[in-house]
Amino acid sequence: MGAIPIALDVQAQAAKAFGNISVTPTHFLINPQGKIVHQQLGKLDDQRVRQYLADFSITPNY
């Protein structure tokens, strides 16, 4: 399985759009319908991301 793509918010545009996030790292898992299904502050490892994807029946598109 390949790497999980991430987005870097250098200009803080996403931070403002998601409620003015000020703690980093902040992770969001967004389903294909655009709904936030999980939010986590702090470190998030690859294995946990894959488990969340499985828990929410999300098939990675990468």
Q: What are the pLDDT tens digits along the chain (62 aa)?
A: 566 777 788 898 988 988 888 887 888 888 778 888 888 888 888 888 888 888 878 777 66
pLDDT at residue 38 in the model: 83
pTM: 0.61
pLDDT of residue 28: 83
User: Which pLDDT does position 1 carry in this prediction?
Assistant: 54
Peptide bond into 25 cis (omega under 30): yes
pLDDT of residue 62: 62
